[in-house]
Amino acid sequence: MIVCCRLIKIKLMSIIKINSFDQAMRKKYWFGLMLFGLMSNCNPSANTNTSGNELLGAVECSIKIGDVTFTKSMNNAKALADLQSNKLLISSPAKSDYFNEPDGKMTYSNAPLLLTKINNAQPFTFQLKVTPTFKDTYDAGALYIYQDEKRWFKFAFERDERQKTRIVTVRTSDTSDDNNHDVADSATVYMKISSDVKTIGFYYSLDNLKWQLVRLFKNEYPTELWLGVSAQSPIGEGNQVAFEECLLTRNSVSDFRMGN
């Protein structure tokens, strides 16, 4: 592109004598000058990929559970996953987490993560039964909305500082927030993420019948998006999480407050 721009400029300067050109040449001059200006503004190194959704460090995989086939593995998730009938087990290594400190000083991104691609321009509902082992503080099983390493949303069933099991969400855009929600006094919870394209809701249930709203927010993610599952053990020695009854449908909940 730069070569073309230079050739145009040289050609114009060689044929135009500013003190003697006629009206026809004047029109050609101004047309050529405009064309040169447009072309000189082109950046030949510009990235034409508008998806903004490169998965750094991801490798191909094919792990199917229920309605979902996970096609990307991060942090060795493929090797750490064990598919038993309709149950997916993911074992996290010691000291594994996804969290970008609010002060920006530290980033943790080593928890195993399995991802499946969706078209975010269409409604969807992603639902699973989640059963972590809960050996240490912050052990968790989690669902993810994942755009890239700096933009993701974690929806977790986690053991907190008081050894209570509760619902936790972590929204990340460069840095992470951290939100503790309801205590869920159960070994297992059902977790649901649902979008009607404009709005996304997070929900949990103890019986897969009555759903509790956790978080509701604007869907500002790109068309190409990933949903995922993960196990973490940020300060512990590892945590195994069972994911069952996995559903991914192309419709949203009808009532974003009730989750049904």
Which CATH number is correct for 59-249, 3.10.180.10, 3.40.50.2300, 2.60.120.200, 3.40.50.11540? 2.60.120.200
Q: What is the pLDDT of residues 203-247, one digit of tens each?
A: 999 999 999 999 999 999 999 999 999 999 999 999 999 999 999
Contact 104, 172 (CB under 8 A): no
DSSP per-residue string spanning 10-58:
HHHHHH--TTT--HHHHHHHHHHHHHHHHHHT--TT----------TT-
What average pLDDT does this structure show over 65-89? Answer: 96
What single string gives the DSSP state of each residue in 169-192?
Answer: EEEEESEE--EEEEE--SS-EEEE
Give the residue among 29, 255, 239 at the shortest CA–CA distance from 140. Answer: 239
113-119 and 179-183 strand pairing: unpaired
**What's the whole-number average pLDDT of the chain?**
87
- What span, in angstroms and rounded, lies between the C-alpha atoms of 236 and 166? 17
Instruction: Indicate if the pLDDT at residue 44 is higher than 70.
Output: no
Supply the pTM of this predicted model.
0.80
Sign of the dihedral through C-alpha 4, 9, 13, 16: positive
pLDDT band at 24 (very low <50, low <70, confident <90, very high): low
Closest CA to 111 of 132, 84, 86: 132
Region 127-131: mean pLDDT is: 99
Domain assignments of the chain as residue spans, ordered by start: 2-40, 59-249
